[in-house]
Structure 1
Amino acid sequence: MAPNQLPRLLDGRMKFRHLVLLDAIARRGTIVGAAAELHVTQPVATRGLRELEDILEVTLFDRGPRGLIPTVYGEAFTEHARAILAQARQAARHVVELAGAERGTAVVGTHLFGSNVLLPRAIAALKAERPNLTVAVRDGTPESLLVELAAGRLDLIVGRLTQISDEEFTRRKLYDEYVVLVVRDDHPLAGAEAVDLATLAGYPWILPGPETALRRELEQLFHSNDVPLPANRVEATSFLTVRQLLRDTDVVAALPRLITEEDPGIVRLPLSLEPIGHSVGLTLPSTRKPTPSACALIDKLVAEAGEVNRRLNPGP
């Protein structure tokens, strides 16, 4: 490409399929994985990537030992491609909702914090008023959900806020909640008047994945108390998995305080984790407006968060 010469992206050669393919390759890390996701053959996917690189006149991916690695051009153009795809998806859904009156779909991503109390209550309140509106819930890690939100496959994320708002995402705090240590109600330590971290380390643990902020905070807690991280552990973020393991085994888990109040089979341990606190809230894309269905869900989330706040901080 000549200096100061922009690639001609509007001459009809670049198609939406090129952008969809680029997004899939960036997420999957291989041509094979992207082809499988898009239900095309590997040669078709390879040809599509070559066409896009010819249009842009740059190399978008380098081959690495574990697959394709985005170049600086690939990272930059993937971000723009996802924004374009997100706007297109949003436009299509907006038209459908306008044509369908009370019908529509709100797609919300969630992880452990916020999914156990706030989101179910907001959905129930929304469905009571608009029974024909569909709410699709997607579970995932905070990092994977942000990718889905940027690409327009999610309308919003409900969960822990670990970053401040930036150019790409707007974050709205709804309430603060502490993390507590819990076991099943007939656990050997249930009902103990006092426990220490060294004793707890002798039991199996459920820990969040290493990519999460809570995991890093728990690792720091063990390190600052000179206690090794439990070797006998399961890494899980799905509440259904965590809850069943808590009920069936002697595991110790760190969970949001509200979970212990909602589930009588789970009890808190008398060891404070008060320094480990977090804010629960909404993460929204900064560059596009929510659909009418997403707005309706957001309104219910804000309303239900007020009730959660009153439970967590009762007045005199």
Structure 2
Amino acid sequence: MPTAQDPAAALQHSLLSRLKLRQLSLLQAVDRHRSLVRVAAEMQLSQPAITKALHEVEDIFGSQLFDRTSRGLVPTPAGEAALHCARRWLAELEATTRVLTSLEAGRSGRLRLGLTQQVPQQLMAAALTHLLDRTPRISVMAREGTTDELVAGLLAREIDCAIGRSYDGEASGLVQQAIYEQEPCLVVGAKNVKRLSRGPLDWARLAQLDWILPPPNTPMRRTYNAIFVGAGVQPPMPILETTSLRSIEMVLRHEPNAVTIFARDVMVEMERSSQWAALPYRLNWSLPPVSFFTLKEVEAHPTVQSLRRVVVETALRMKQAAAQ
């Protein structure tokens, strides 16, 4: 009598025995272009050859990976799963080539660090100095972004660890440790402080100003919206949505009613060289804490462990100094 075969085991055997890296690269190209004509042009092959290659990949995965629509090739649910696999494997391959290249150049390895722009300068300096002063030296890649972008980079294996705001979304395998609390403050152009600070703190009045806020669906934007709602005020429609410090500084300098929220310690660090200043109000809430992020699979790596230790120790010293 024939024995029943586990479908998952059969699919895994098919992937292990038949799937090749160039086929994963093909999936990414199809997803990028959504057109077999453009994929063929990029890969310098005929369209029939690309069509045949895609059919072979779909046969290996045992599912149709793309729907053919008037808008081009659109990933099916199975296609999205296959693309997730392709992105992860190819990202790991790219990371490995970078590590090997750094080793060949005499370095002891490579670490990819993500940072948000409102990480205090002292914390950022401690992290980068620790990494760059190691002996033997390692190669460092630093990347800035919002917390959501950095978490996405971690999950895609594009970075190894990050320092950002606490993350409240679902992310399997993500490890985060809150390390530093920051006080928020309202920031305006320095020449506008006296005029905009008249009277007591009034969120209804503040909501009428020209706000600079982080992009939608970021942890900080959700926090700020919740503050307005908690004060019984409709969150304002911002004139600018950005995390770019240069853009924020330019708008604060030129727009007389522009206002934003910053971590007070970061604002003080930048106040000397910028034309902005804090309004004299104390806000009775805290920003999401600065946190250290990595993945379970790499948190035991010696370089990641030593970096986290330095960052945590620096944050502790900053807390102690602030309390004095």
Q: Which runs of no fewer than 5 residues in structure 2 stay unpaired?
A: none
C-alpha separation in 2, matches of 1:268 and 1:303: 28
Corresponding position of 1:253:
260
Counterpart residue identity of residue 281, structure 1: S
| Paired-residue identity, % | 28
C-alpha separation in 2, matches of 1:192 and 1:161: 34
Mapping of residues 105-144 of structure 1, within 5 Å = 105-114=110-119, 116-129=121-134, 132-144=137-149
TM-superposed deviation, 1:90: 4.8
Q: Deviations over 1:34-66 (max 9, x none)?
A: x78x95469577665443212111123446787
Work out the number of aligned pairs and report it: 308
Counterpart residue identity of residue 309, structure 1: K
Corresponding position of 1:217:
223
Task: Indicate if the aligned counterparts of 2:242 and 2:248 stay in contact, CA closer than 8 A.
Answer: yes
Task: Indicate if the aligned counterparts of 1:149 and 1:285 stay in contact, CA closer than 8 A.
Answer: yes
Q: Deviations over 1:79-116 (max 9, x none)?
A: 44444345444544554555555454322222234265
TM-superposed deviation, 1:129: 4.7
Task: Indicate if the aligned counterparts of 1:90 and 1:291 stay in contact, CA closer than 8 A.
Answer: no
Choose 1 or 2 for highest CA Rg.
2
Matched, 1:207 2:213: yes
C-alpha separation in 2, matches of 1:45 and 1:209: 39
Change (3 A) 1:75 1:309: farther
Mapping of residues 61-210 of structure 1, within 5 Å = 61-62=66-67, 70-96=75-101, 102-114=107-119, 116-129=121-134, 132-163=137-168, 167-188=172-193, 189=195, 192=198, 194-210=200-216
Change (3 A) 1:192 1:263: farther
Among 237, 241, 248, the alignment partner of 1:235 is 241
TM-score normalised per structure 1: 0.78
Corresponding position of 1:309:
319
Corresponding position of 1:4:
6
Moved more, 112-121 or 291-300: 291-300
Counterpart residue identity of residue 137, structure 1: A
TM-superposed deviation, 1:234: 0.4
Task: Indicate if the aligned counterparts of 1:190 and 1:267 stay in contact, CA closer than 8 A.
Answer: no
TM-score normalised per structure 2: 0.76
Change (3 A) 1:290 1:15: farther
Higher helix share: 2
Q: Secondary structure at the match of 1:275?
A: coil
Moved more, 260-269 or 223-232: 223-232
C-alpha separation in 1, matches of 2:16 and 2:221: 46
Q: Which runs of no fewer than 5 residues in structure 1 stay unpaired?
A: none
C-alpha separation in 1, matches of 2:187 and 2:215: 18
TM-superposed deviation, 1:118: 2.1
Change (3 A) 1:280 1:205: same
